[in-house]
Structure 1
Amino acid sequence: MRFPLLQSFQRKGILTVSSSAPLVFDGHNDVLLQLYRDGGPSKANAFLAGREGAIDLPKSKIGGFGGGFFAVFVPSPTDLEHKFREMTKDTYDLALPEAIECNDALPVVAAQIATLRELERLGALTICRSAADMRAAFAAGKMAAILHMEGAEAIDADLHMLDVLHAAGLRSLGPVWSRPTIYGEGVPFRFPSSPDTGGGLTDHGLALVKRCNELKIMLDLSHLNEAGFWDVARHSEAPLVATHSNAHAITPHSRNLTDDQLRAIAESDGMVGLNFAVAFLREDGKMLADVPLTQMLKHLDHLIGILGEDRVGLGSDYDGAVVPKELTEASALPKLRQAMKEHGYGEDLIRKLCHENWLRVLELTWGS
């Protein structure tokens, strides 16, 4: 298989990342949504050859992107231009999209999972169901993909579809995106704001937590409001994980985690992945890309200060968010590694942040 984009970079003198650099395993991306919008499984070849967007196989080889959580997401009808325009203001409070019915969500979920399976069939990645699968993929030089679902709209109240999705490889689930489900409520896109924006988990939500624990499906708390977060903390037997969230003490956005939430995650031996989305990084909460890498390091310092060096990683939100202009695609990840080094992070800590901490928490959650 030839990769024209990769060969183009090499002709220009832009080489792949050093083999000694730690691979990045990432807490969240939305490439399946973008491929779905482009045509679904029939367009999977674009991932191998090079596509517009943040993540594909050539860019990943260049940047040392070793894999991550591939999110399945059912989009709401949204005026993105209006949303992004509002999020450049000093304050904003965007209305939550309406709930999506299960029967409407299922075909979208099926198409995106089929796309991920097609990527595996084409040899672009390996769908991992265990930490051992992830380690084997790393050793073989294959991209390691976790099937994750952001929002549980496609899961029926009896949870039968949860078992079906688990059989298909689902190993991580966010009960909500930023809209309500029968399981709970998500936080709005609101700045400034506390994440305490609504009610806790419903009875269906508590049943979902219990069944995910039984199946060893990781629960992602990134979009859940604070009341729902504390319900999971009280009822879940697994480490608390937020795959792509930042520090509310630095950026007081509803999507970010308070220090009390971070302490609860630490006590559970859980994990937080640093979100690259600029509105959750900038102290003014604006969706503007002129964010220096030092701002990302400020969030990392704060997260590490509360969670410790073993419970922080990366959760880029690539292909689903406006990110710092220096890190617009996976091929740019060496810049972040270099910024960490210049900031004073040692090799062991950088390796933990890049992928070892994700392996650790997934082994704790999955049991292997």
Structure 2
Amino acid sequence: MNRRGAVRMKVVDFHCDALSKLVEKPAALFEDGSGAQLDVTLQSMNQGNIALQVFAVFLSENKGKPQFERVMAQLDVFRKRLVGSGDIAWLKWRDQVEQITSGGKRWGMLSLEGLDGLEGNLFYVQLCYDLGVRFMGLTWNHANWAADGVMEKRGAGLTDKGRQFVELSQRLGIILDVSHLSPSGFWELAEITERPFIASHSNAYSVCPHPRNLSDEQIRAIAALDGLIGLTFVPWFIRQNTRPVKPEDLLPHIEKICSLGGEHHLMFGSDFDGIDQWVEGLESPGCYPRLIELLLKHYPEYLVRGWTSGNALAFLEKHLPQRPSSEDM
């Protein structure tokens, strides 16, 4: 496939942190990123043919105590400034996925990167679902009311309330994200879950031994549960040494995940706007066509199409909640 074909290939990206930047800099423009130095903008999404972008609600510890009002501020930015402008269509329901496959719109979804801002209140979980959030990561790097994060030295699993959260999320149809969860929490969730979960932005630990990456056993478990793994572009999750990281350095992670049964469970979760260092030549969504060209040199087109969008869209078509009859189109 030539470059023109690569440009036309739709892309789904399961993780970015643009909302927190837009809240911090209210005058910034999502259209081109001016005023906020955004990686993910409408312009870069168009350049990269991003059919669907998952926008995470991330509450930086440097900006004060995680509180629900801070969650609501980011949800409000998404609703008013991205969807309200007409630039982004909002994906909430299973029946909408077909429109992504067939149409040319840019779509967005909402996730929570850690439950800290819900303050241990399960009513807030229900409220976030009602407000359109469809993915929730239990933790960021540290401990909270639901579980321990991957950087928490204690390394514990889920709390009692965390297990209640899992039960509620599965009743509602919220998809859980384990990218920041401790190994103990991961295996506890794998044991009690009734639904597949995702790792929205993690790579292979055996290729690059960063704590945020997934062990071989975790990769096998996610694949066995019919979940998804989002290959991420965080340079220090890709390789350890100090030389500049290039797109080619992602290939060993792809090889490893595929060798463990993950070839149909692989997608992308860039972490754009959550990083201040970038893979050379992969600094924004507009660079995806270049990455696709690289992948097509090494892998058959059907696999690359699966990784860029097919695997993620098939998952969403199966696991997003059904639209209630009372919900307007």
- After the TM superposition, which residues 1-368 of structure 1 pair with which residues of structure 2 at under 5 Å, given as runs? 21-39=8-26, 43=28, 46-51=29-34, 52-77=37-62, 104-118=66-80, 119-188=82-151, 198-284=155-241, 290-321=244-275, 322-343=277-298, 345-366=299-320
CA contact (8 A) 1:28 1:316 kept: yes
Post-superposition shift, 1:308? 3.2
CA contact (8 A) 1:17 1:63 kept: no
SS at match of 1:320: coil
Name the amino acid aligned to 1:31.
A
Q: 5+ residue gaps in structure 2?
A: 323-329
CA contact (8 A) 1:17 1:61 kept: no
SS at match of 2:31: helix
Name the amino acid aligned to 1:171.
R
CA contact (8 A) 2:202 2:232 kept: yes
Cα pair distance change 1:127/1:179, threshold 3 Å: same
How far apart in 2 are the matches of 1:330 and 1:277? 14
Cα pair distance change 1:50/1:148, threshold 3 Å: same
Cα pair distance change 1:263/1:226, threshold 3 Å: same
CA contact (8 A) 1:239 1:268 kept: yes
Per-residue CA deviation, residues 126-170 of structure 1 (Å, 9 max, x unaligned), is: 111123323324533221111101011222434001111111001
SS at match of 1:48: coil
SS at match of 1:355: helix
CA contact (8 A) 1:250 1:283 kept: no
Greater displacement, 54-63 / 154-163 = 154-163
CA contact (8 A) 2:113 2:140 kept: yes
Q: 5+ residue gaps in structure 1?
A: 1-15, 79-99, 190-195
Q: What number of residue pairs does the alignment pair up? A: 316
CA contact (8 A) 2:6 2:292 kept: no
TM-score when scaled to structure 1?
A: 0.81
Q: Percent identity over the alignment? A: 31
CA contact (8 A) 2:42 2:87 kept: yes
Greater displacement, 154-163 / 228-237 = 154-163
Post-superposition shift, 1:291? 0.9
SS at match of 2:116: coil
How far apart in 2 are the matches of 1:19 and 1:304? 22
Post-superposition shift, 1:363? 2.9
SS at match of 2:194: coil
CA contact (8 A) 1:198 1:225 kept: yes
How far apart in 1 are the matches of 2:150 and 2:225? 22
Post-superposition shift, 1:366? 2.3
How far apart in 2 are the matches of 1:242 and 1:19? 26
How far apart in 1 are the matches of 2:269 and 2:231? 5
Greater displacement, 160-169 / 128-137 = 128-137
Q: 2:325 maps to what in 1?
A: none
Post-superposition shift, 1:22? 1.7
How far apart in 1 are the matches of 2:300 and 2:271? 25
SS at match of 2:315: helix
How far apart in 1 are the matches of 2:211 and 2:273? 21
Per-residue CA deviation, residues 6-57 of structure 1 (Å, 9 max, x unaligned), is: xxxxxxxxxx965873211011000101111112xx64xx112443221111
SS at match of 2:281: helix
Cα pair distance change 1:316/1:17, threshold 3 Å: farther
Name the amino acid aligned to 1:182.
W
Q: 4+ residue stretches of structure 1 with deviation over 4 A?
A: 16-20
Per-residue CA deviation, residues 231-280 of structure 1 (Å, 9 max, x unaligned), is: 11011111131010000001111101101111111111111000110010
Q: CA RMSD in A?
A: 2.1
CA contact (8 A) 1:159 1:208 kept: yes
How far apart in 2 are the matches of 1:158 and 1:120? 27
How far apart in 2 are the matches of 1:134 and 1:109? 26
Per-residue CA deviation, residues 155-205 of structure 1 (Å, 9 max, x unaligned), is: 24340011111110010000100121100111129xxxxxx9600100011
How far apart in 1 are the matches of 2:92 and 2:6? 26
